[in-house]
């Protein structure tokens, strides 16, 4: 009995042990299985915290040992970091191509965020705490974002008429959002938190782009430029490195320095006085304001400009054309009676800018002539033209297109021309054909005695289907004058036997001109109703108030005209303290529809309407109205001489830079370069921009004549003083 009882107890204990052993084994198995799956989970958590798009999430079937977990985790983190950098780099490149480059400090801030994330990975913050913190940050960022969007909408409503290119910034932001949405298509294993963190980072990055244009804490000290061209320095044309007497000191093409100049151009050696006022400046200017070493030598062989005392005189009966410019124009009128100056011919381009008497005579006929000053090593006659008060710009004319849209000039003139139009497959003449209006006139006067050159020119003009309306050798002026007309339709192009030059491809934009090389192809004549140039504009001055069918947003153009007429009449002419009788050369640094220039026509001034290359292209309409303008990128210096303009107008110009330029202060330096001593600057913008801008102008020792602000918007009216460090 005792043995049986003992045996039963032993069996009972053994059963208990077996059960305990089984429970222990099951517990160890559970711990082992849990530990095996906990490592991939941690890896996924780390990837989420990196706010990478996680294009390749860790598979759920992946199993690694505990000893190799850290190595795999580090490898994945490095791969994800590279993906983050490459993805951000692509977005930055797209922004640059969209004319919205990021400043250097934005890239640095992005790297700091990546380092911050990697530090959090090393600390291995628990998942629940991380989720809680990220949700709180997300809510705060969403609140800031909503507030920022509301502020943007308010500003957009306030400036809907004045600033039209606001839409461009919104388009750029929507493209960036679209890119982020495309990159956010990831596996379902990635939770919503990762995507929200990525979006928050992107939104924060966009907010940083909209930082202040000028640093309000910056302090400035200025020095004079020590350049070879001295007081006539044009940064993108004058060579400042590798100078040799063989190659000259000016570029054949526009070539800007890597860093924009941050120095002040000195005044002429003999000083600078206030220029002669219009219209007296048509007949004389102060010689010391335009003094040039080669100008004195040039005057010895040309009688249309004479030095008399302190003045440079321009006798009315003297001209480059023998018999006078009046006789020259009368002969053109007799040759082509269809040319009616000041009516159907309003906007003219004068190539060469030698004798300004042609421009002055056309101005008396209500024709606005824009002179193209070709920079060479001879004489700076374009500067003389600007000093006289004529519309002039400076540009090389060799390999790149001129900064104009296609088909905008009613007529183009080249007097006593020495340009080899037939050279280089006729590139230069094809560029003239591009910017000449369909049905427009090309007036060419030469003294060529070479039969070969004349035959080559005839062959070239025939190949592009130009019609010779008249050809006459004037006995008085002793020049041969030819008047060509550009075709008005494409029918004649199809009838060509030899299609050389060929027609340009359909995807070739004829209006693209900023740093675009000249093409040896022939652009077709516009035929669609939505294209500009299909019809000849109304006669002047009716064309100023005519809004063609191809113009988008006619209502905005009409409102823009009324808006600027009210501002000019009620504020600018009487409330700024400007003596408008001293103003002749004016620049609108960011124009839209030319309303500001139209409002000033009665003041007998001319306005250079600048359309920034990143803004909506409204320049064809400006020419259609009978005004003149040009494309320009303000991150680079403008193509003109120092001391060219009497007044610069900048309406919401700096707030629309969108941090495109690395050194926005250089634009203020450029304004100082192209403005005459005693000239005026009128800036309308946000107060947050005007306050640091006022400090910069004071550092230049400009006189702040008037400031006014209301509802976070304001205006500064400043006058440049005759001062140099």
For residues 487 and 561, membership in a common domain is answered with: no
Sign of CA dihedral 252, 258, 264, 266: negative
Q: What is the mean pLDDT of residues 256-263?
A: 91
- Which segment of 101-115, 538-552, 572-586 scores lowest on mean pLDDT? 101-115
For residue 337, being part of any structural domain is answered with: yes
Q: Domain limits at 678?
A: 544-720
* Angle between helical axes of 325-335 and 357-364 (0-180°, round to 10): 60
Q: Return mean pLDDT, the chain.
A: 78
Q: What is the mean pLDDT of residues 253-259?
A: 88
pLDDT, residue 33, reads 67
- For 682, residues 6+ apart whose C-beta sits below 8 A from its C-beta are 572, 576, 647, 648, 649, 650, 715, 716, 717
For residues 518 and 609, membership in a common domain is answered with: no
Which residues does residue 718 pair with via DSSP β-bridges, in sequence order? Answer: 681, 704
For the chain, what is the domain count? 2
Q: What is the mean pLDDT of residues 642-666?
A: 92
HEC per residue, 181-239: HHHCCCCCCCCHHHHHHHHHHHHHHHHHHCCCCCCCCCCCCCCECCCCCHHHCCCCCEC
For residues 520 and 609, membership in a common domain is answered with: no
Q: What is the mean pLDDT of residues 7-11?
A: 49
Q: 295 or 343, which is more confident? A: 343
Task: Indicate if the pLDDT at residue 111 is higher than 80.
Answer: no
For residue 138, being part of any structural domain is answered with: no
Task: Indicate if the pLDDT at residue 150 is higher than 70.
Answer: no
Between CA 210 and CA 106 the distance in angstroms is 11
Q: What is the mean pLDDT of residues 253-268?
A: 91
For residues 680 and 572, membership in a common domain is answered with: yes
Q: What is the mean pLDDT of residues 267-279?
A: 91
Q: What is the mean pLDDT of residues 76-103?
A: 42
Contact predicate 589/634, CB 8 Å: yes
Q: 556 or 245, which is more confident? A: 556
Tens digit of pLDDT for each residue in 506-519? Answer: 999 999 999 999 99
Q: What is the mean pLDDT of residues 506-535?
A: 94
For residues 559 and 488, membership in a common domain is answered with: no
Task: Indicate if the pLDDT at residue 572 is higher than 70.
Answer: yes
Between CA 196 and CA 184 the distance in angstroms is 10
- Which segment of 16-30, 110-124, 432-446 scores lowest on mean pLDDT? 110-124
Q: Give 447's pLDDT tier (boundaries 50, 70, 90).
A: confident
Q: What is the mean pLDDT of residues 72-96?
A: 44
Task: Indicate if the pLDDT at residue 76 is higher than 80.
Answer: no
Task: Indicate if the pLDDT at residue 526 is higher than 80.
Answer: yes
Q: Give 211's pLDDT tier (boundaries 50, 70, 90).
A: low
Q: What is the mean pLDDT of residues 523-548?
A: 94
Q: 613 or 11, which is more confident? A: 613
For residue 417, being part of any structural domain is answered with: yes
pLDDT, residue 16, reads 61
Q: 17 or 460, which is more confident? A: 460
pLDDT, residue 100, reads 34
For residues 491 and 456, membership in a common domain is answered with: yes
Q: What is the mean pLDDT of residues 539-544?
A: 97
Q: What is the mean pLDDT of residues 1-10?
A: 49
Q: Which of 448, 493, 445, 497 is nearest to 466 (CA)?
A: 493
pLDDT, residue 126, reads 42
For residue 403, being part of any structural domain is answered with: yes
Residue 327 belongs to domain with CATH number = 3.40.50.150
For residues 706 and 675, membership in a common domain is answered with: yes
pLDDT, residue 37, reads 57
For residues 509 and 621, membership in a common domain is answered with: no
Between CA 418 and CA 67 the distance in angstroms is 83
Q: What is the mean pLDDT of residues 33-49?
A: 46
For residue 388, being part of any structural domain is answered with: yes
For residues 697 and 548, membership in a common domain is answered with: yes
The pair of three-digit structure tokens given for residue 184, joined into one six-digit string: 């956010």
Tens digit of pLDDT for each residue in 383-438? Answer: 999 999 999 999 989 999 999 999 999 999 999 888 999 999 999 999 999 999 99
For residues 708 and 613, membership in a common domain is answered with: yes
pLDDT, residue 230, reads 86
For residues 493 and 422, membership in a common domain is answered with: yes
- For 332, residues 6+ apart whose C-beta sits below 8 A from its C-beta are 339, 443, 481, 483
Which residues does residue 611 pair with via DSSP β-bridges, in sequence order? Answer: 631
Contact predicate 325/294, CB 8 Å: no
What does the angle CA 141 – CA 168 – CA 147 come to, to the nearest 5 degrees? 25
For residue 232, being part of any structural domain is answered with: no
For residues 561 and 501, membership in a common domain is answered with: no
For residue 298, being part of any structural domain is answered with: no
Which of 219-233, 307-321, 684-698 has the highest mean predicted lDDT (pLDDT)? Answer: 684-698
| Residue that is last in its domain, among 525, 552, 586 | 525
For residue 13, being part of any structural domain is answered with: no
Contact predicate 355/304, CB 8 Å: yes
Task: Indicate if the pLDDT at residue 70 is higher than 60.
Answer: no
Task: Indicate if the pLDDT at residue 189 is higher than 70.
Answer: no
């Amino acid at each position: 009995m005792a043995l049986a009882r003992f045996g039963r107890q032993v069996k009972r204990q053994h059963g208990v042990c077996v059960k305990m052993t089984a429970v222990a084994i099951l517990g160890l198995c559970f711990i082992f299985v849990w530990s095996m799956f906990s490592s991939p989970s941690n890896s996924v958590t780390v990837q989420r915290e990196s706010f990478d798009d996680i294009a390749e999430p860790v598979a759920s079937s992946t199993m690694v040992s505990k000893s190799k977990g850290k190595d795999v985790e580090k490898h994945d983190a490095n791969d994800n970091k590279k993906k983050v950098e490459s993805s951000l780099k692509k977005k930055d490149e797209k922004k640059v191509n969209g004319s919205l480059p990021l400043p250097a400090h934005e890239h640095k801030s992005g790297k700091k965020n990546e380092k911050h994330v990697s530090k959090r990975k090393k600390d291995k913050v628990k998942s629940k705490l991380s989720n809680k913190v990220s949700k709180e940050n997300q809510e705060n960022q969403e609140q800031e974002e909503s507030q920022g969007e509301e502020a943007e909408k308010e500003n957009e409503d306030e400036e809907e008429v004045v600033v039209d290119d606001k839409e461009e910034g919104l388009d750029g932001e929507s493209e960036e959002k679209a890119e982020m949405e495309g990159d956010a298509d990831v596996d379902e294993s990635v939770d919503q938190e990762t995507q929200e963190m990525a979006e928050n980072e992107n939104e924060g990055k966009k907010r940083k782009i909209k930082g202040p244009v000028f640093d309000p804490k910056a302090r400035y000290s200025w020095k004079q430029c020590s350049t070879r061209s001295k007081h006539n320095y044009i940064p993108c044309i004058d060579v400042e490195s590798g100078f040799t007497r063989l190659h000259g000191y000016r570029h054949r093409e526009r070539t800007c320095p890597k860093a924009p100049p941050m120095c002040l151009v000195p005044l002429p050696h003999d000083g600078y006085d206030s220029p002669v006022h219009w219209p007296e400046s048509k007949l004389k200017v102060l010689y010391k304001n335009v003094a040039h070493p080669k100008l004195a030598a040039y005057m010895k062989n040309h009688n249309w400009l004479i030095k008399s005392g302190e003045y440079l005189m321009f006798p009315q009966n003297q001209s480059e054309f023998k018999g006078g410019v009046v006789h020259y124009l009368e002969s053109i009128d007799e040759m082509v009676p269809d040319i009616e100056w000041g009516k159907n011919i309003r906007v003219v381009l004068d190539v060469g800018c030698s004798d300004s008497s042609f421009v002055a005579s056309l101005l008396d006929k209500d024709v606005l002539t824009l002179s193209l000053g070709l920079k060479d090593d001879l004489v700076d006659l374009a500067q003389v033209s600007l000093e006289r008060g004529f519309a002039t710009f400076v540009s090389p004319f060799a390999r790149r297109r001129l900064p104009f849209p296609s088909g905008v000039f009613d007529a183009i003139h080249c007097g006593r021309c020495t340009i080899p139009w037939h050279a280089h497959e006729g590139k230069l003449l094809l560029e003239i054909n591009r910017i000449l209006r369909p049905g427009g006139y090309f007036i060419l006067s030469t003294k060529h005695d070479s039969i070969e050159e004349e035959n080559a020119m005839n062959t070239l003009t025939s190949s592009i289907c130009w019609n010779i309306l008249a050809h006459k050798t004037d006995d008085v002026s002793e020049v041969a004058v030819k008047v060509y007309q550009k075709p008005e339709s494409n029918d004649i192009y199809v009838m060509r036997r030899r299609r050389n030059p060929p027609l340009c491809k359909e995807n070739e934009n004829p209006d693209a001109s900023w740093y675009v090389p000249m093409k040896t192809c022939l652009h077709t004549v516009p035929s669609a109703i939505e294209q500009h140039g299909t019809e000849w504009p109304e006669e002047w001055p009716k064309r100023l108030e005519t809004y063609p069918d191809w113009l988008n947003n006619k209502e905005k153009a009409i409102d823009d005209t009324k808006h600027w007429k009210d501002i000019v009449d009620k504020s600018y002419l009487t409330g700024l303290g400007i003596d408008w009788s001293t103003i002749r050369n004016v620049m609108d640094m960011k124009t839209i529809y030319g309303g500001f220039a139209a409002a000033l026509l009665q003041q007998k001034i001319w306005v250079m309407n600048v359309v920034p290359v990143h803004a909506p292209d409204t320049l064809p309409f400006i020419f259609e109205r009978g005004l003149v303008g040009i494309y320009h990128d303000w991150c680079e210096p403008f193509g003109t001489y120092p001391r060219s303009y009497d007044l610069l107008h900048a309406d919401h110009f700096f707030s629309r830079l969108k941090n495109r330029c690395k050194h926005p202060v250089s634009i203020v330096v450029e304004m100082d370069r192209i403005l005459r001593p005693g000239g005026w600057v009128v800036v309308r913008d946000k107060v947050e921009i005007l306050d640091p801008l006022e400090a910069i102008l004071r550092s230049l020792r400009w006189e702040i004549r008037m400031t006014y602000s209301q509802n976070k918007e304001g205006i500064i009216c400043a006058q440049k003083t005759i001062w140099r460090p």
